[in-house]
A and B are shown apart, each in its own frame.
Chain A
Amino acid sequence: MLLPVLLGVSIIAFSLIHLAPGDPARAIAGEHASPQVIHAIEEKYGLDKPLYIQYGIWLKQILHGDFGRSIISHEYVTTEIWDRFPNTFELTILALIFAILIGLPAGIVSASKQYSVLDYASMGIAIFGISIPVFWLGIMLMMIFGVFLGWLPIAGRIDVLCSLDRITGFMVLDSIITGNFAALSSVLRHLILPAIALGTIPMAQIARVTRSSMLEVLRQDFIRTERAKGLSERMVIYKHAVRNAMIPVVTVIGLNFGLLLAGAILTETVFAWPGVGRYVIQGVYARDYPVVQGCVMFFALVFVIVNLITDIIYTYIDPRIHYA
């Protein structure tokens, strides 16, 4: 299931450069390249061969983790993605934690106190949450907490004055390992606003799905039985209902990871965040096709892996599900 999808994804990514208007060799060589240079590039990249052979060569390369070199920086795309990935990863994970920590309880409480003020309030906030443009929310947070109140930095990953040894590339981790708490505090302070901006839409969706899934479960017979046998409402909800309501919630969290990746493109642009999202946009601006191809493949790969993890989590929360 996974392999055919990835193969299809690779065909789409491969077609990008060939569907683009203009000659790919010229795109790589630049506008003012001489015919000799273009010819050399055609030979080097196999652009003079039939498409399916080109695809074969390209596929073999990417299976070895080689997406080619950026037209602009001449660095390997894979290296550039790996340099930026930890930044995107830390941002999305923190956003996801924020989304789950608030969205899940909000949904559970809304469902267990259906039609209460609390229910209306959290569902009202949730519908705003799914309607808000993530980039505008980022701008507003930046404006209020960064510019007007001056509590938090408005852009970047870490203060310029902070030095931090890179070990893993994950700045939060690196600063903890090296015991550099000045850097840790700076890194975390830079993370807060982008993470909240990015996490708000998933938070709202998680809250909405948790609520409707809980309501569905709470109507079922075994819940009535439990209430009838005198189990406390607390036990009914937290021990039995929540666990049974989790399947759609986990699905939505998995799907939201895709939204988070897409949102990261916007959030990283707003907050000048040096991640993969900003990298792909810069690639699109510069018509740097190897970069766009590499990032598209990379995002799709991450998304597919996350969906796989989601499937595995199902079997843990619901022992009735088995994968042969």
Chain B
Amino acid sequence: MERKRETRTKELLRRLSYNKAAVFSLAIILIVILCAILAPFIAPNDPNPSPPELYNSLKPGFWSQDGVGGMPLGTDMLGRCVLSRIIYGARISLTAAIVAVAIAMLLGITFGVLAGYHGGWVDSTFMRIVDIMFAFPALLLAIAIVAVLGRGLDKAMIAIGIVYTPQMARIIRSSVLYVREMEYIEAGKAIGSSNRRIIFRHVIPNSMSPVIVYGTLMMASAILDCAALGFLGLGAQPPTPEWGAMLARSYQYIVAGAWWAATFPGIAILLTVLGFNLAGDGLRDALDPRLKM
């Protein structure tokens, strides 16, 4: 009896807490979020000192005698503190991914609900457009959009959001197709509720579980793709401390033995993406045990 009074969120959290990987992933995500929020307070150094401290360029970190004090992960080719840049980079990667996924969700929910709820020609036109967009590898389409819009972090976010839209829309559409046949929708129609009311009060809330799961997994790919665009020089522009762009600038120096500047930003990407992937897996198992892998 007690359990029935649990809210959905509470029940979800309880189920998640049984899953060790999910707890671990939430811890990673929490750390990244804290880094993003508290960056100015926890970063040991200025991520973009001006004027640049070139005399400190490519100094190793705590593991070596040659390191500079106060730069635990060493410095990059412009003498900037790698750790501080990674901490500030959390802000950029998280913001970019959140904006991109928000765009995909907003557009995806709009198109997906319209297509799924109304059916008919709306739906078939929509499905053709989705087919066309799926003919492009996601990153390539994002690159093409950036080629049109021009380089920059803001444009990269928009491009990734657009590229993810058909995927999100299709997930919502299939979920709506299922919900629309439910009895409570029929009941709503019978008592004369408007389409608008049925869509906003019943269809959308009941189609949300897959959106939450795929939204989380999408955060992971958005962080990866955003870093990829940054790495290609099409996303965040220097001197922005974006993880992908940091790698692009520093990997040529590995030949000179300066491995740290090209290693740690990648570990930051890997762990953050891993966090969101594990969280997505965990949410899927908790929300819908039938889909359990």
Contact = CB atoms under 8 A, between A and B. Distances in A.
Interface of A: 1, 4-6, 8-9, 12-13, 16, 19-21, 127-128, 130-136, 139-140, 142-143, 147, 154, 208, 211-212, 215, 258-259, 261-263, 265-266, 269-270, 280-281, 283-285, 287, 289, 292, 296, 299-300, 303-304
A287 to B, nearest CB: 8
Contact of B270 (A16, A131, A285): A131
B129 interface: yes
Given A258-B136, A265-B232, 18 more contacts: A6-B135, A20-B147, A21-B150, A132-B270, A133-B228, A133-B269, A133-B270, A134-B228, A136-B262, A142-B254, A143-B254, A262-B139, A262-B140, A266-B228, A270-B251, A281-B143, A284-B147, A299-B136
B144 A135 contact: no
B115 to A, nearest CB: 17
B33 interface: no
The 6 closest A-B pairs by CB, nearest first: A136-B266, A8-B132, A262-B139, A262-B137, A131-B274, A258-B137
Contacts of B255: 147, 154
B232 A299 contact: no
Contact of A12 (B132, B137, B277): B132
A287 B273 CA distance: 31
Contact of B137 (A134, A142, A292, A303): A303
Nearest to A292: B147
Q: Which of B148, B150, B233: most chain A Cβ within 10 A?
A: B148
Interface string B254-286: 110101001101100110011001100100000
Nearest to B131: A5
B269 A16 contact: no
Given A296-B136, A296-B140, A266 B232 contact: yes
Contacts of B281: 127
B224 interface: yes
Nearest to A255: B134
B136 A139 contact: no
Nearest to A142: B254
B227 interface: yes
B247 A139 contact: yes
B234 interface: yes
A154 B266 CA distance: 18
B270 A136 contact: yes
B156 to A, nearest CB: 12
B235 to A, nearest CB: 12
B21 to A, nearest CB: 8
B269 A304 contact: no
Contacts of A1: 131
A146 to B, nearest CB: 9
Contact of A285 (B132, B233, B251, B254): B233
B128 interface: yes
B220 interface: yes
Nearest to A287: B147
Nearest to A213: B293
B143 A139 contact: no
Contact of A128 (B139, B228, B270, B293): B270
Given A20-B148, A135-B247, A140 B263 contact: yes
Contact of B135 (A20, A127, A292, A300): A300
Contacts of B148: 16, 19-20
